[in-house]
Amino acid sequence: MMNRPLLFALSLLAAFTASAQEKPKPKALFNDSTSVTGGYFGFTPKLTNVMGADVLLLGFSGAFILEHKVALGLGGAWSSSTIKNVAYEQFLRDFGTEDVSGLELRYGYGGLLIEPMILGKHAVHLTVPVLIGLGSVSYSYPRSNSGSNSDRRNRTDGQAFVAVEPGLELEVTVVEAFRVGFGASYLWTSDLELPYTAPDALRNYMARMTVKIGGF
CA pseudo-torsion sign 82, 86, 89, 91: negative
Q: What pTM did the predictor assign?
A: 0.79
Rg (CA), the chain: 26
Q: Has residue 8 been placed in a domain?
A: no
Q: Has residue 14 been placed in a domain?
A: no
Structure confidence at residue 3 (pLDDT): 61
Q: Has residue 15 been placed in a domain?
A: no
- The whole domain housing 142 covers 35-215
Which residue type sits at 163?
Answer: A
Q: Please enumerate in sequence order all residues whose Cβ is within 8 A of that of 155, keeping only pairs 6 or more positions apart, or say none.
A: 138, 139, 140
Q: Please enumerate in sequence order all residues whose Cβ is within 8 A of that of 71, keeping only pairs 6 or more positions apart, or say none.
A: 40, 63, 64, 65, 113, 114, 115, 117, 127
Q: Around 204, how many Cα atoms within 13 Å sit in the side-chain half-sphere? A: 19
Q: Has residue 66 been placed in a domain?
A: yes
Number of domains observed in the structure of the chain = 1
Q: Has residue 142 been placed in a domain?
A: yes
Rounded to 5°, the CA angle 197-129-135 comes to 30
Which residue type sits at 36?
Answer: V
Structure confidence at residue 27 (pLDDT): 53
Residue 192 and residue 199 in contact, taking contact as beta carbons nearer than 8 Å: yes
Q: Has residue 168 been placed in a domain?
A: yes
Q: Has residue 3 been placed in a domain?
A: no
| Ranges in the chain, pLDDT < 50 | 1, 22-23, 26
DSSP state of 6: H
Q: Has residue 2 been placed in a domain?
A: no
CATH number of the domain encompassing residue 49: 2.40.160.20
